[in-house]
Amino acid sequence: MTTLNRADFVRLGSMFSGSLVLGVGASGCANQSRTAPPSSAAPGTRAAFRPNAWLIVHPNEKVTVFVAKSEMGQGVATGMPTIVADELDIPFENVLVEFAPAAAAYNDPDFHIQITGGSTSMLSSWMPLRTAGASARAMLVAAAAKQWGVDASTLTTNAGSVIDNKNNRTATYGSLTGAAASMPVPAKPKLKSREQFTLIGKVDKRIDTPLKVNGTAKYGIDVRVPGMKFASILYPPVFGAKVRSFDASKAKQVKGVIAVVQVPSGVAVVATNSWAAFQGKAALTATYDDGAFANASSESLKAQFLKLASSGTGAIAAVERGSKSVQGTRFEAVYFGQPVAHATMEPMNATASVTSDGVEIWAPTQVQTSAQAYAAKIAGVPLSRVKIHTTYLGGGFGRRLYVDFTNDAVAVSKAIKAPVQVIWTREDDIQHDWYKPMAANAVSAVLDGHGNLVAMRHTVVMDSILKGLGFPLPASGMDPVSMDSVMNSPYEIPNYQAYYINPNSGIPPGSLRAPGANWNGFVMETFLDELAHAATKDPLAFRLALLKKNPRATNVLQRVAKNASWGSPAPGTKHGLAFGFWANTPVATVAEVSMNGTTPRVHRAFVVADVGIAVNPTIVRQQLEGATNYGLSMALASKITIENGAVQQHNFYDFLVLRIDQAPEIHVDVLENAPSPTGIGELGVIPIAPAVANAVFAINGKRARTQPFSDAYPA
């Protein structure tokens, strides 16, 4: 019987659904092998030209661009090569893409490690990639100038060729690779002006689309290496628990199971195929030392969080501006949000091979540096002997910023002395995540006699997301990620105090799409809406009055109001407005909502964002649309509940996500009013939930101070 893998299934399906040919470049991101260095080139052939870590110019006119960010659907495998290709001045069709290895040369300039997160990929890579492309172009021009005996300043480039207009001659980049390698690297290559871009802002294709259509794109779950085994791990159900003992007798009776081994995270069942590993795990029994979290429940944790928010016990000052004693009409509110799982389409998985020579890992990871460092520690080898192969990611949303799943693969491979793919079930994925944290916020504000917001105090109770990521907290203990949209709020409130409390709840706190902001933005925007109505002011005008010094924010609010015909919703619906700011990008959303019983029904969402420069406008729109639906999913129904220290949800039948019939019609408008690209991957998550909640208030006068809305508007 022939085994049909995922890629085979996709290819087979395409055969029966008609021929579809979509092509950019000649190779897939994960499959393109690196060109041999010039020293190994055959006699009489031109060598490839590699001027820096980011690109290789091949004699056949193709150019390989190394992408240091992980491709999880957000489009970096297209956007980053576009930047290089534009500055290099080559046709987009000549671009080949390869995921960069784990190496210091590819570290993010802000995080100082190789990582993909925070919607910072394009912003942080913008100048390095432009410089890399421009530097290579300058060296190719210099090579042609030397061959022709002319001044380089008299030459131009176009579509992968150096041109000497005066003498009516051209030289392709491929013909210059050998000569260019001997040219000095320019210290400050001349960059194109914005008006000179030929690809940036104009390319609307995606390099990875044909690979995903024809099934050749390699995800972590697709990896196969010689001699590879499969493993599934039984994890203790309670957070922080440890395995005390286990009985593997029934597991070993399952056909295909070849070993059962204990690893630091649990008990691994190793088999010749994944199904046998899953069945063996189901037959495994174990006892645990549950630890201090065993008696925790959602109700007990909620009570703890609300008490901390109200009392302010242990609060750390993040912002203290102006006076704490302001006269006027005071308003107060307390908000509570449940944890949420990432629920990526591709469950966690990683493949590892630990040998005497070192470690190789094939994984859909967002954090290559950390995966490499932990693997070295587990295997007991030098860092230089750990090789990371980054695959495509079947969704990330911040979940793959953690190394638990790569650590598991390394630990199991070390134990069985063979390559192994550790693969999680959906239940594993839901019940052993790093979650959007539980949160409670206490807010108060003062309006003066004219209805102006003159003071606000905001206390956030949320587990430290930064600490969960393994980054050190500031000396004060205040977590800027957990305080996002509160401590850095763009609103001009003269008297403003913000405080942070870390409850250390015991639930693993995770970075989930727009971490911190995905909750705090909801609190800020619904509370501001409440204040606007109390002041009998239009919510749009109320916000604009607080953003007078922020023209980009003002522009997106005014544009979204115009696009949505603010104040004139479709019959049977009401409008709600919200603003957000993330990764140096302002965004505003108007939601057009009706009620289906106690459930909001979002008919249309209007989104406007000022992204600075849209490298690929189609991808920008796709990301804003996808993030809007993701945020709506969290708002409507997604939640994790705890009982006896364990997660109660299992799969998509009880961890609810947005269904297609709940998805609204989304209208996206993109503004470009900054000198470089700003972040867009997580942006749309922030304003959709408060926009919907504010529309519901306009319908029935009920304020949502809880997420998901299934808790805020119970049947």
Give the SS3 label for residue 289. strand
Q: Band of the pLDDT at 477, cuts 50, 70, 90? A: very high
- Contact criterion met (CB below 8 Å) for 96 and 33: no
Which part of the chain is CATH 3.30.365.10? Answer: 6-214, 220-291+348-423, 298-339+434-712
CA distances from 428 to 349, 358, 413, 516, 578 (A): 11, 29, 20, 25, 35
DSSP letters spanning 163-220: EETTTTEEEEGGGGHHHHTTSPPPSSPPPPPGGG-SSTTT----TTHHHHHHT-S-BG
Q: Which residue has the tokens 């599934």?
A: 232
Task: Give exposure, 417-447, as e/b (b: 16+ Cβ within 10 Å).
Answer: ebbbbbbbbeebbbbbbbbbbbbbbbbbbbb
The reported pLDDT for the residue numbered 259 is 98
Residues 675 and 121: their CA atoms lie apart, in Å, by: 16
Which residues, in sequence order, are bridge partners of residue 66? Answer: 98
620 closest CA partner among 214, 202, 66, 212: 202
613 closest CA partner among 57, 201, 242, 252: 201
> What is the DSSP-derived secondary structure letter of residue 366?
S
The reported pLDDT for the residue numbered 710 is 93
Collect contacts of 33-39 with beta carbons under 8 A, ≥24 apart: 33/98, 34/64, 34/98, 35/64, 38/178, 38/181
Architecture of domain 298-339+434-712: 2-Layer Sandwich (3.30)
Q: Band of the pLDDT at 42, cuts 50, 70, 90? A: very low
Q: Band of the pLDDT at 604, cuts 50, 70, 90? A: very high
Other beta carbons within 10 angstroms of residue 102's beta carbon come to 25
Cα Rg of the chain (Å, integer): 27
Residues 199 and 159: their CA atoms lie apart, in Å, by: 11
CA distances from 78 to 30, 53, 60, 102, 173 (A): 13, 18, 21, 20, 22
The reported pLDDT for the residue numbered 41 is 38
As a whole-number percent, the residues of the chain with pLDDT over 90 amount to 93
Q: Which residue has the tokens 């956030």?
A: 460
Reading the block at residue 559, the tokens are: 């544009």
6-214 under CATH 3.30.365.10, yes or no: yes
Reading the block at residue 523, the tokens are: 């609190």
Q: Please, what is the angle between helix 121-148 and helix 76-88, to 10°? A: 30
pLDDT in tens, 405-457: 999 999 999 999 999 999 999 999 999 999 999 999 999 999 999 999 999 99
Residue 371 reports pLDDT greater than 80 = yes
- Contact criterion met (CB below 8 Å) for 685 and 668: no
| Mean pLDDT in residue range 76-86 | 98
pLDDT in tens, 509-566: 999 999 999 999 999 999 999 999 999 999 999 999 999 999 999 999 999 999 999 9
As a whole-number percent, the residues of the chain with pLDDT over 70 amount to 94
| Mean pLDDT in residue range 673-693 | 97
Residue 4 reports pLDDT greater than 70 = no
Residues 397 and 344: their CA atoms lie apart, in Å, by: 7
Residue 18 reports pLDDT greater than 60 = no
pLDDT in tens, 221-254: 999 999 999 999 999 999 999 999 999 999 999 9
pLDDT in tens, 187-224: 999 999 999 999 999 999 999 999 999 999 999 999 99
As a whole number of Å, the end-to-end CA separation of the chain is 51
401 closest CA partner among 428, 362, 350, 364: 364
Residue 630 reports pLDDT greater than 50 = yes
- Contact criterion met (CB below 8 Å) for 572 and 681: no
> What is the DSSP-derived secondary structure letter of residue 433?
-
The reported pLDDT for the residue numbered 272 is 98
Q: Which residue has the tokens 């063979």?
A: 418
Task: Give Cβ neighbours of residue 464 (< 8 Å, ≥ 6 apart).
Answer: 473, 479, 481, 482, 502, 504, 509
Which residues, in sequence order, are bridge partners of residue 447? Answer: 329, 453
Residues 495 and 446: their CA atoms lie apart, in Å, by: 9
Residues 603 and 170: their CA atoms lie apart, in Å, by: 56
> What is the DSSP-derived secondary structure letter of residue 340?
B
- CATH among 3.90.650.10, 3.90.550.10, 3.30.365.10, 3.40.640.10 for 220-291+348-423: 3.30.365.10
Other beta carbons within 10 angstroms of residue 361's beta carbon come to 27
pLDDT in tens, 313-351: 999 999 999 999 999 999 999 999 999 999 999 999 999
Average pLDDT, the chain: 94
The reported pLDDT for the residue numbered 46 is 78
Higher-confidence position of 533 and 5: 533
CA distances from 151 to 144, 146, 160, 423 (A): 10, 8, 19, 59
Residue 26 reports pLDDT greater than 90 = no
Task: Give exposure, 654-691, as e/b (b: 16+ Cβ within 10 Å).
Answer: ebbbbeeebebebbbbebbebebbbbbbbbbbbbbbbb
Phi, psi of 463 (to 5 degrees): -60, 150
The reported pLDDT for the residue numbered 8 is 57
Q: Band of the pLDDT at 713, cuts 50, 70, 90? A: confident
pTM over 0.75: yes
Residues 64 and 55: their CA atoms lie apart, in Å, by: 5
| Mean pLDDT in residue range 625-654 | 98
Q: Band of the pLDDT at 32, cuts 50, 70, 90? A: very low
Other beta carbons within 10 angstroms of residue 449's beta carbon come to 9
